[in-house]
Amino acid sequence: MARTLLLDLDGTLVDSVPDLAAALNRLMAARGLAAFDHAAVTAMVGDGAAALLARAFAARRVVQDAAALGEFLADYTENAAVETRAFPGVEEGLRLLAASGWRLAVCTNKPEAAARALLAALGLEGSFAAIGGGDSFPVRKPDPAHLKATLDAAGGLATRAVMAGDHHNDVAAAMGAGVPCIFCAWGYGPAAMGVGAAGVAASFAELVGMAEALLPAG
């Protein structure tokens, strides 16, 4: 049977906090609000752009204005790959997985347009059969329907699948869908977020080996 690996984006495939922080801080500066450092933005990432902004404005004890999300998304989409880079081993790992017959898909809470723009800028978009963003379907992670819809879009609803990500949303969505999850320890989520995962990978190369072990070819 065919095998599909679903991958989270931020904190799993790419280190995107530098560009997320830059766009967020430009938004804050335009409103006379203090900037956030790298660690603060890292702690707020994982549930999509709307949640990131909600947390940021709450941290500054200011009511978010109606234009903020649109401004942030436009700015970030245009500047998503200024400093963002794929994590070590990602490009080689994706090539190895594809050569082994894996179908690859991205399942992220990042808006689809921003995800596609980022992956295209990094030369990675062509690696994936589908990109399921946070606004691609009526639901998003941790709802397992987001994972299932992305899997369906990749043409693999009836195939064997594994999810990989660095956030509790990834583990929860996978568990809800009856799909094993590999927790990515190099990402943004603390180790406690990996509770319930089928395994913990310390590097993308290790993730490749774990995926093969969970779902051997044949």
Whether 134 and 108 have beta carbons less than 8 Å apart is answered as yes
> 3-state DSSP call for residue 185?
coil
> 3-state DSSP call for residue 10?
strand
Taking the CB of residue 182, how many other CB atoms lie within 10 A of it? Answer: 29
- The token duo for 146 is 């987001």
Q: Which of 8, 10, 19, 170 is catalytic?
A: 8
- The token duo for 218 is 């044949």
Whether 113 and 77 have beta carbons less than 8 Å apart is answered as yes
- The token duo for 67 is 């234009």
65 is annotated as an active-site residue = no
Q: List the catalytic residues.
A: 8
